């Protein structure tokens, strides 16, 4: 078995460089927005995966080339998800062969414990995500999926995965069931076929790949991403509920700082990242925030309804900052945590800058997004995997 495994692990490699390198919502409906409206388990499981890889290696050896809804409806869909054998299998099946890549001195072949993604599969998965975006216009929810997986990170906890962050834990029902994640089961359903097709891409990477690709395809900046995130293996490794921000806390500025500073992010990054609300909508039946529909959302695209922050809510630009500053269009949403970006003196410096200077927003957003996507992640190899051209510099 060991020989077969090592043969599988030393298959020819694609030429890809390795370089060094969640929202707790109010429950009450606010139809008119307020302002406009365990390490041990992992080790054991690694062994299981290792054996499973070996078993697959045996099977594929000869070819050498193989390698969602309202809060209430969300919970019902969670139930159906859990009861669906195929989906349960998909979400729980962590077994996958190790990466078979060597380049620039790093050889996954020499690292049989490599548990992360295959670069070629990452690239192909990205193309499939682009197609998905073109047909379903799901950019916003994919961005929210990536953010909610990463945003549970606690910089004061050293151990992985207890520290939370971008580790794929959001695929488990227990975490999907957190109030802040209402509706995200739909995002999982959308990317499920891609995960199935590219089993050598981890969930943690797929979530972040989908989010960054959605930003870029919506007209946003190129995000200097790296991949290689290792997945948690069981629901017991999910973070506890309550690590993501609340949209209507008593002191929005203090709350945002509590939550984002815990992630190791600063005021500039809070403001830049909030700019992601240039995309998407809020739905009262999910988060409790926003109108059921507006003139901008009643016809979709995608599932109609909800209230958007911007008129063109599938286009990534700096209109979010312009619109929440002006607050003249009652059809557009401004959450308390959005409004405070112009109310708090430190946040305001950045928010005003982004109103005037879209290029500055894009630059700061790209850096902050890449940083967010790496929070809490365990990379294998440690320096990560770059799937873009040599010119892009991962954070
Ligand atoms: C600053 C704290 C934040 C709060 C309080 C907050 C709150 C919310 C709320 C209430 C919704 C509506 C969810 C629904 O009803 O479906 C939402 C949606 C969204 N959020 Fe945030 N958010 C925050 C930060 C972020 C960040 C940092 C990102 C990304 C970098 C982000 C990206 C999105 C996107 C893209 C949507 C639209 C989802 C869709 O249309 O399906 N948010 N957020």
16-51 pLDDT per residue, tens: 222 222 333 333 233 333 333 333 333 333 333 322
- Expressed in angstroms and rounded, the spacing between residue 235 Cα and the centre of ligand 1 is 24
Give the burial string for 241-255 (b: 16+ CB within 10 Å, else e): bebbbbbbbeebbeb
- Expressed in angstroms and rounded, the spacing between residue 82 Cα and the centre of ligand 1 is 25
DSSP 39: H
For residue 313, the ligand 1 atom closest to its alpha carbon is 40
Instruction: Quickly state the pLDDT bin for 269 (edges 50, 70, 90).
Output: very high
Query: Checking DSSP bridges between strand 102-103 and strand 281-282, what pairing results, if any?
Result: unpaired
φ, ψ (nearest 5 deg) of residue 231: -85, 145
Residues 279 and 326 in one domain: yes
Percentage above 70 pLDDT, the chain: 70
114 in ligand 1 pocket by Cβ < 6 Å?
no
Residues 301 and 200 in one domain: no
φ, ψ (nearest 5 deg) of residue 354: -70, -25
In a domain, 7, yes or no: no
- What is the pLDDT of the chain when averaged over all its residues? 78
23 in ligand 1 pocket by Cβ < 6 Å?
yes
Residues 363 and 275 in one domain: yes
Beta carbons within 10 angstroms of residue 120's beta carbon? 20
C-alpha closest to that of 25 among 309, 289, 338? 289
147 in ligand 1 pocket by Cβ < 6 Å?
yes
pLDDT at 108 over 70: no
Decide: 15 and 102 in contact? Cβ < 8 Å. Answer: no
Residues 223 and 281 in one domain: no
Average pLDDT estimate for 339-351? 98
Beta pairing partners, 115: none
pLDDT at 247 over 90: yes
Residues 231 and 335 in one domain: no
Instruction: Quickly state the pLDDT bin for 389 (edges 50, 70, 90).
Output: confident
What pLDDT does 394 receive?
61
The enclosing domain of 149 has a CATH number of 1.10.520.10
DSSP 278: G
In a domain, 279, yes or no: yes
What pLDDT does 225 receive?
98
37 in ligand 1 pocket by Cβ < 6 Å?
no
- Is 148 an annotated catalytic residue? yes
- Expressed in angstroms and rounded, the spacing between residue 327 Cα and the centre of ligand 1 is 18
C-alpha closest to that of 147 among 263, 248, 37? 263
Q: The domain containing residue 198 runs over which residues?
A: 119-237
203 in ligand 1 pocket by Cβ < 6 Å?
no
Terminal CA-CA length for the chain: 39
Average pLDDT estimate for 166-179? 98
Q: Which residue has the tokens 């990466």?
A: 99
pLDDT at 85 over 80: no
Please, what is the angle between helix 185-197 and helix 203-217, to 10°?
110
Compute the distance between CA of residue 190 and CA of residue 181 in angstroms, rounded to an integer: 15
Query: Checking DSSP bridges between strand 102-103 and strand 307-308, what pairing results, if any?
Result: unpaired
Contacts with 317 (C-beta within 8 Å, 6 or more apart), sequence order: 219, 220, 278, 358
What pLDDT does 334 receive?
98
Q: Which residue has the tokens 């809060």?
A: 71
Average pLDDT estimate for 132-154? 98
Residues 193 and 263 in one domain: no
Average pLDDT estimate for 120-134? 98
Residues 126 and 231 in one domain: yes
113 or 331, which is more confident: 331
200-230 pLDDT per residue, tens: 999 999 999 999 999 999 999 999 999 999 9
In a domain, 245, yes or no: no
314 in ligand 1 pocket by Cβ < 6 Å?
no
In a domain, 144, yes or no: yes
69 in ligand 1 pocket by Cβ < 6 Å?
no
25 in ligand 1 pocket by Cβ < 6 Å?
yes
In a domain, 71, yes or no: no
Alpha carbon nearest to ligand 1 atom 14, residue: 282
Compute the distance between CA of residue 8 and CA of residue 73 in angstroms, rounded to an integer: 44
pLDDT at 288 over 60: yes
Residues 259 and 354 in one domain: yes
Compute the distance between CA of residue 361 and CA of residue 271 in angstroms, rounded to an integer: 9
- Expressed in angstroms and rounded, the spacing between residue 324 Cα and the centre of ligand 1 is 15
Residues 276 and 205 in one domain: no
Decide: 375 and 153 in contact? Cβ < 8 Å. Answer: yes
pLDDT at 175 over 90: yes
The enclosing domain of 278 has a CATH number of 1.10.420.10
140 in ligand 1 pocket by Cβ < 6 Å?
yes
169 in ligand 1 pocket by Cβ < 6 Å?
no
What pLDDT does 391 receive?
54
In a domain, 325, yes or no: yes
What pLDDT does 63 receive?
28
Decide: 204 and 238 in contact? Cβ < 8 Å. Answer: no
150-167 pLDDT per residue, tens: 999 999 999 999 999 999
Residues 230 and 262 in one domain: no
Percentage above 90 pLDDT, the chain: 69
**Gyration radius (Cα) of the chain, Å:** 21
Mutate to test the pocket of ligand 1, among 214, 225, 276, 342 (most ligand atoms within 8 A of CB): 276
What pLDDT does 106 receive?
29
Alpha carbon nearest to ligand 1 atom 22, residue: 23
Mutate to test the pocket of ligand 1, among 23, 31, 35, 187 (most ligand atoms within 8 A of CB): 23
Q: Give the number of domains in the chain.
A: 2
In a domain, 336, yes or no: yes
For residue 372, the ligand 1 atom closest to its alpha carbon is 30
How far is CA 361 from each of CA 113, 163, 368, rounded to the nearest angstrom? 40, 29, 10
C-alpha closest to that of 306 among 328, 286, 336, 326? 286
Alpha carbon nearest to ligand 1 atom 4, residue: 247
Of 207, 237, 267, which marks where a domain is finished? 237
What pLDDT does 392 receive?
53
- Expressed in angstroms and rounded, the spacing between residue 23 Cα and the centre of ligand 1 is 7
Contacts with 99 (C-beta within 8 Å, 6 or more apart), sequence order: 108, 114, 116, 117, 118, 119, 200
383 or 389, which is more confident: 383
In a domain, 191, yes or no: yes
Residues 271 and 300 in one domain: yes
pLDDT at 301 over 50: yes
Beta pairing partners, 102: 107
- Expressed in angstroms and rounded, the spacing between residue 339 Cα and the centre of ligand 1 is 14
What pLDDT does 388 receive?
87
pLDDT at 255 over 80: yes
Average pLDDT estimate for 236-244? 98
Residues 164 and 270 in one domain: no
- Expressed in angstroms and rounded, the spacing between residue 89 Cα and the centre of ligand 1 is 29
Decide: 88 and 176 in contact? Cβ < 8 Å. Answer: no
Average pLDDT estimate for 240-252? 98
């Amino acid at each position: 078995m060991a020989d077969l495994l090592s043969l599988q692990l030393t298959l020819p490699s694609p030429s890809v460089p390795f370089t060094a390198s969640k929202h707790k919502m109010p429950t009450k409906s606010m139809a008119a927005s307020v302002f406009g409206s365990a390490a041990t388990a992992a080790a054991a499981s690694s062994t299981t995966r290792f054996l499973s890889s070996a078993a697959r290696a045996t099977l594929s050896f000869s070819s050498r080339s193989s390698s969602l809804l309202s809060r209430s409806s969300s919970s019902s869909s969670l139930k159906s998800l859990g009861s669906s054998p195929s989906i349960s299998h998909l979400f729980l099946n962590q077994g996958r062969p190790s990466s078979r890549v060597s380049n620039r001195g790093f050889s996954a072949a020499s690292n049989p414990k490599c548990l992360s993604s295959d670069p070629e599969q990452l690239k192909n998965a990205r193309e499939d995500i682009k197609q998905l975006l073109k047909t379903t216009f799901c950019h916003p929810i994919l961005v929210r999926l990536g953010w909610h997986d990463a945003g549970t990170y606690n910089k004061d906890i050293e151990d992985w995965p207890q520290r939370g962050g971008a580790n794929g834990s959001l695929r488990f029902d227990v975490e999907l069931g957190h109030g802040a994640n209402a509706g995200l089961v739909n995002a999982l359903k959308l990317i499920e076929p891609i995960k199935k097709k590219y089993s050598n891409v981890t969930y943690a990477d797929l979530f972040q790949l989908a989010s960054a690709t959605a930003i870029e395809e919506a007209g946003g900046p190129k995000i200097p991403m790296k991949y290689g995130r290792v997945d948690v293996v069981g629901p017991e490794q999910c973070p506890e509920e309550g690590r993501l921000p609340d949209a209507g806390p008593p002191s929005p500025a203090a709350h945002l700082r509590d939550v984002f500073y815990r992630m190791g992010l600063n005021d500039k990054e809070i403001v830049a990242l909030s700019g992601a609300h240039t995309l998407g909508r809020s739905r009262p039946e999910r988060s409790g925030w926003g109108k059921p529909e507006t003139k901008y959302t009643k016809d979709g695209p995608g599932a109609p309804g909800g209230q958007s922050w911007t008129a063109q809510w599938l286009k990534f630009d700096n209109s979010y900052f312009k619109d929440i500053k002006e607050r003249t269009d009652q059809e557009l949403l401004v959450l308390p945590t959005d409004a405070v970006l112009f109310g708090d003196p430190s946040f305001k410096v950045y928010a005003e800058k982004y109103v005037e200077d879209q290029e500055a927003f894009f630059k700061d957003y790209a850096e902050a997004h890449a940083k967010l996507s790496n929070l809490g992640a365990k990379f294998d190899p440690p320096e990560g995997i770059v799937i873009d051209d040599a010119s892009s510099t991962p954070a």
